[in-house]
Amino acid sequence: MSMGRIAVLGIGAMGGPIAGRLLDAGYEVTVYNRTQEAADALVARGARRAQDPAEAVTPGGIAVTMLANDAALAAVTAEFLPALGEGGLHISMSTVSPGLASNLAARHRAAGSEFLGSPVFGRPDAAAAGRLAVALSGSDAAKARAKPVHDAVSHAIFDFGEEPEAALVAKIGGNFLIVAAIEALAEAFALMAKSDVDARRFHEMISRTLFDSVVYRNYGKLILDRAFEPAGFKLRLGLKDVGLALEQGQASETPLPLAGLLRDRFLSALAKGRGESDWAAIALAAAEDAGLDG
C-alpha cells in the first residue's frame, strides 16, 4: 500500500539511504540531486527523478532535504517552496545554522507551509538500517505529520520544542561532542604508542568500561584502523559543523575554547589535502605531533 508521495532533495551519502528507506516503507519517492547520476540507483529501484527542485515536490505535500550547508539548503528551498505552497511540510534533516532554520521557518509560514527542524545523528550505514537518531523541533502538527517519515529512518526521536532552530542547536552541540571525542581518542592513542602500550587493548578497556558508547567504540576502531576512506562524513563538512558551533557560541556569548582547537585541527587537515577523507582523519594530527607515522 502506498504511503503517499514524498520528495527527497539531496541524494548524497545520507540522503540516498534515507530515500531508500522511504521507498522500502511504501512511499512514492521523487528524488532531486544537482549531480543527477547520484540518484541512478534509487531510480532503478522505482524512484522518480526530478530535473529541478520545484518539479520534485507535490503541492501541499512533504519534502525532505539533506543538503551540505546553509547555502545549498537556502538555494534549493527557494526553488521548491513556491511549488510546495499551502499545506506543505518541509522536513529539514540538514545540519545548518539555527539562524537559517529560523529564517526558513518564517518564509514557510508566509507560504502557508511548515518547516520542521529535523537534523539526524548517524552515519550512512545507520541511515540505511533505519537507525538514525532525530533531533526535532517545530509545531506539534508538523511533528505528527512527519512521524511516519521519522519512523521509517530512525530508532529514536528527541523533541526540543516548538522553535525550529532549537533542534539545530542540539545537533551542533552533538557534533561538537563527537569531534571532541575524536581528538581525545587520538591524543590518548598517541600517548599509548609513545609509551609502548598496546593502543588497541587500551581502546578495548575504555570502550567497554568508562566510555562504553557508540562514539568511543566506533570512532576508536576507525582511528586505530586508519579507515578514513571512503568517508562516512567528509572532513571538509566537519569544519563547517565546528564553524557552526563557534558561530552559535558567539551569538549566545558562550566561550567554546575547545571548538577553537578543533577548528585548527580541521584547517590543518584541509591544508594537507584530507578534505575528502572521513572527518575522523583529524586524528592523524595527534600522531604526527607526537612524531609518529600518521
Residues involved in catalysis: 171
- Cα R_g (the chain), whole angstroms: 20
Residue given cell 543538503 in the structure block: 67
CB of 77 closer than 8 Å to CB of 51: no
Residue 135: helix, strand or coil by DSSP?
strand
DSSP state of 14: T
* CA–CA dist 33, 49 (Å, integer): 9
- Quote the CA–CA distance of 172 and 111 in Å, as a whole number: 28
Strand order in the sheet with 120-121: 120-121, 132-136, 154-159
Q: What are phi and psi of 17, to 5 degrees?
A: -60, -35
268: left (phi over 0), alpha (psi -120 to 50) or beta: alpha
| 134-to-23, 95, 121, 249 alpha-carbon distances in Å | 19, 12, 6, 22
CA contacts within 13 A on the Cβ side of 214: 8
